[in-house]
A and B are shown apart, each in its own frame.
Chain A
Amino acid sequence: MSVSIDARGPRWSALITTFVLAIALITSSVWLIAFQSVIFAIGALRGPQFTPYALIFKKLIVPRLKSPATLEDVRPPQFSQGVGLAFTLVAIIGSATGATGVFTVAVGFALAAAFLNAAFNFCLGCQMYLLILRASK
């Protein structure tokens, strides 16, 4: 049985991620992307409930929320963090090799996913995982 976490946590983290990626896209800042990739790496490897964004949510936001927590499986948001990590790594490689177009497109996709999650409760794992499986196996 997998771990369950507060369902509102990943959406909060997606909101912060959206702002960080948006600023990185406007300023073409590879350092900001490197920072976000570390966050994604923690979320993908240890779990999305252990990132600094999730800790802010737990310490500062949860005590101020009135609605009760609904629990959800940790695996879907963890998968999304992994996809985010992949996009930011591509962006970093693009920037390091001088391919600024690759940087912009990769950050753009990561931003789109984070924004869709925050604004529309979009489930990245639902839309991508089966397609990846079908393509790879």
Chain B
Amino acid sequence: MRENTPVKTFIPLAIVLVSATGYGLWYQRTRGEFRKKKTVNGPKLTAAIVGTELGARATMVQFSSAFCTPCRATKVLLEDMVKTLSDVRYAHIDAESHLELVRKLDIRSTPTTLFLNHAGVEVGRAMGTPKRAQVHAALAAIH
């Protein structure tokens, strides 16, 4: 008999729900998490590239795009945090209009925030909106 009538099967649904749940849990856990850069000889960013003066100790460079809901919340948080930190600066870059830089730094999703040391070298990055405490901890580790 040929299969002309649709066959009811729960197998594809089960596969999708199980793998999406696995991914979703990983996604939720890793958003905003500071990841230390493994190699220290990354490209050096300058004030001309990021569009703002670099901080005396550290600089946070956020990449955003139009189709990104958490980008705005991230911007509000980081802008607020640097207000009380005299040696840390914040820079905001529209990823879409800086694709060359995005490729060079291998930015894959938005928002991505790079943490630069005083010399403008990336020491780590966070994808998604970090929590205030996560940003504090990341900045405290930069001397």
Contacts and interface: CB of A to CB of B under 8 A. Distances in A.
A2 B88 CA distance: 31
B7 interface: yes
B67 A129 contact: yes
* Most A C-beta atoms less than 10 A away, residue of B6, B19, B72: B6
A108 to B, nearest CB: 5
Given A123-B69, A125-B68, A104 B12 contact: yes
Interface string A100-137: 00001001100110011001101101110111011001
A130 B15 contact: no
A112 B107 CA distance: 24
Interface residues of A, number: 35
A92 interface: no
A75 interface: yes
B140 interface: no
A130 B108 contact: yes
A119 B8 contact: no
Interface residues of B, number: 37
A134 B110 CA distance: 13
A76 interface: yes
B69 A126 contact: yes
A79 interface: yes
Contact of A126 (B7, B8, B110): B110
Contacts of B12: 25, 104, 107-108
A70 to B, nearest CB: 10
Interface of A: 2, 7, 22, 25-29, 72-73, 75-79, 104, 107-108, 111-112, 115-116, 119-120, 122-123, 125-127, 129-131, 133-134, 137
13 contacts: A26-B8, A28-B9, A29-B6, A79-B67, A115-B17, A115-B20, A116-B20, A120-B24, A125-B66, A126-B69, A130-B95, A130-B108, A131-B109
Instruction: In the A-B complex, list the 8 residue pairs whose CB atoms are closest, starting with the nearest.
Output: A125-B67, A120-B24, A79-B67, A28-B6, A112-B20, A129-B67, A76-B69, A126-B68
